[in-house]
Amino acid sequence: MIHITDPLIATYLMTLQPEEDPRLLAMEEKAKAMNFPIIDRQVGRFLHLLTLLKRPKLVVELGSGFGYSALWIARALEDGARIVLTEYAEKNLAYARGIFTEEGLAEKAEFRTGNALELGQEYDDIDILFIDMDKYLYPAALEAMLPHLAPKALLIADNALWRGRVVETLDTKNNEPVKKFNEIMSRHDSFFTTIVPVGDGVLIAYRLS
C-alpha cells in the first residue's frame, strides 16, 4: 500500500500543531464513527491558508458532506464573503447548518441540497471552487464549472492522488477519471496548475486571466 506521505512525517505534522478546537475534533470523531470520508486535517489547514491568501468573495464547494472542509474555509472568509455548500444528503447539510450556526458563520453560508453539478452552475464569478464529490464526476465538474469561474479564480480538488492509486492499476472506475482530470488541468493553457502531496493530494489551478 502506498503512503503518499511517510507515516512518521504525517505524525510529526499532526503533533506539531495539535488540534484543540472541540468543534473540529467532534467532526473528525463523527467521520471516523460513520466511516465517512472527510478531508485530512492537514488539507483543512491548507484550504484555510489558501482562503486567507485568496481573500475570495464567493466560494462554491461541490460535495460538502457534513461541512468539515467548509468550516475550515469559512473561518478564513472576510466580512461580506460567502460559501455555498452543495450536497445530495439532506441530513448531512442539516448537521452542517447546525455547526455553522453555533460558530456564528451561518450568514456567510448557503446550504443547497441536490446535485452539486447542477447547483454549482447557478453561480457566476466564483473565486474559489472546491471539488470533493464522487471522483468519477471530476472531469464532468470541469466541463460544467469552468465557465463559471471569476478571473484569477482558484480551482481546488481533493483526492488528486486517490490514495496513491493514480500510480497503480486498482479501482479504475474512479482512478481513470481522476487521472484524466489531473491531465486536463495540468495541460490547460488558461491555468497554472500544481498538485501538492498533502493528505490525499490536492490539485490547485490558478486561472491566469
The amino acid that residue 171 corresponds to is D
- Bridge partners of 206? 154, 192
CA 186 distance to own-chain centroid = 18
* Identity at 102, one-letter amino acid code: E
- Closest to a second copy by CB, 34 or 52: 52
The site for a second copy, by CB under 8 A, has a size of: 40
Number of residue whose CB is nearest ligand SAM: 63
Q: Can you read off the three cell numbers belonging to residue 8? A: 512518521
With the CA atoms of 64, 68, 73 and 76 taken in that order, what torsion angle do they form, in degrees rounded to the nearest 10? 150
Binders of ligand SAM among 145-204, rule CB under 6 A?
none
Residues from 41 through 80 that contact a second copy (CB under 8 A): 42, 45-46, 48-50, 52-54
SS3 of residue 75 by DSSP:
coil
* CB distance 195 to 182 below 8 Å: yes
The least distance separating a second copy from the CB of residue 148, rounded to whole angstroms, comes to 20
What is the rounded distance in angstroms from the CA atom of residue 41 to the CA atom of residue 170?
26
Q: Is residue 8 near a second copy by the rule CB under 8 A?
A: yes
Nearer to ligand SAM, 134 or 176 (CB): 134
9 binds, among a second copy, ligand SAM, none (CB under 5 to 8 A by kind): a second copy
Minimum CB separation of residue 34 from ligand SAM in Å reads: 10
Q: Which is nearer to a second copy, 21 or 90 (CB)?
A: 21
In DSSP terms, which residues pair with 86 in a beta bridge? 62, 112
Q: How far apart are CA 44 and CA 63, in angstroms?
A: 15
Q: How far is the CB of 180 from ligand SAM (least distance, A)?
A: 17
Q: Which stretch of DSSP H or E encloses residue 203?
A: strand 202-207
Q: Which of residues 64-123 bind ligand SAM (CB under 6 A)?
A: 64-65, 68-69, 86-89, 92, 115-117
Which H or E element spans position 173?
helix 172-187
**Contact residues: ligand SAM, CB under 6 A:** 37-39, 63-65, 68-69, 86-89, 92, 115-117, 132-134, 137
**Contact residues: a second copy, CB under 8 A:** 2-6, 8-13, 16-17, 42, 45-46, 48-50, 52-54, 154, 161, 164, 166-167, 182-183, 186, 192-198, 201, 204, 206
